[in-house]
Amino acid sequence: MGALGHYLEAAGVATTQISLVREHTAAMQPPRALWVPFILGRPFGVPGDAAFQHRVLITALKLLESDTGPVLDDFAEEAPHTAPEEAEGIACPVSFERAIDSSDLVAALAREIEALAPWHDLAARRRARTTTGLSGMSMEDAARFIGSYLQASSAPVLPQMNAGESLKIVCDDIRAYYYEAAAAQPGNPNAEAVLRWFWRDTAAGRAFLALQKICAASADPSLQVFGGNSLVPRAVMHGDLV
C-alpha cells in the first residue's frame, strides 16, 4: 500500500494508510501512515468495538490534513481486550517444556519445531501455501541461527543484510511457522489465542524475549532498532498478554 500511495499522490490523489509493522512503513516512506500497536490481521483492533474502530479510522483520516510528507504517526491507544468468551487458549496436543538457561532454551526450541512439524505440514496442505521461507533456511537451521545469538557464540548474517535485518527475517520465519501450525490444531483458535499461546507457552516466545534483551544491550545499531521496534509486541512488553 505504501508504494501505491506514491503513485496515487503523483496523480493528485491524497492518501493515508494504517500500518501494522512500523519499520516496514518507515522504510517505504508512504505519504501518510498511522502505525497501530495491534496484532497482525486486526488493523482496527478487536471485532465488535465500533467506537474504538471509529477512533482509529478518524485518526488515520486526519493525516490527510497534512499537505507534505512522509508522515508516520503512532496511534496512542492499545486495542481493547477480546471478550473472555472469544479469548480461549489453545488446547495444544503438543506438550512444551520450560527451559532454564540459554543452551536449554535453544534445545527446547529445536524440539518444539520438530514437534510442530506435522501440524505445520497439515496447515500448508490445507492452505496450499505457507508464509515461511523468506530466509531460505529450514526451521532447524533457523533455530540454530537464533541460538548463535542467544549463546553469544557468533552473530551470523544473511547475504547483503546487516545483523538486525537478518535476525528479523529468521524470526519472522519461525513466528509464521508457529502461527500456521497453531491454526491447524483442534479448536479453531483465534488470533489472540494464538498470540497468547506463542508468548506464554512456547520456547520460541521465550527465545524472542531473550533476544529482545540481547538486542537492547548490543552495540550494533541494527540490532537495537530490531529489538526495540518489532521483535516483541508492545502488549507483551507491557505484560498484557503473558
**Do 206 and 99 contact (CB within 8 A), yes or no?**
yes
pLDDT in tens, 35-50: 888 766 678 987 778 9
pLDDT in tens, 117-126: 998 998 898 8
* One-letter amino acid for residue 136 of the chain: G
* Res. 59 pLDDT band, cuts 50 70 90: very high
**Do 40 and 14 contact (CB within 8 A), yes or no?**
no
Q: What is the rounded CA–CA span in Å between residue 14 and residue 6?
A: 9
pLDDT in tens, 134-165: 999 999 999 999 999 999 888 899 999 999 99
Q: Look at residues 24, 26, 20, 57 and name the one whose alpha carbon lies nearest to residue 40.
A: 20
How far is CA 92 from each of CA 14, 25, 72, 88, 118, rounded to the nearest angstrom? Answer: 47, 34, 39, 12, 13
What is the predicted pLDDT for the residue at 93? 45
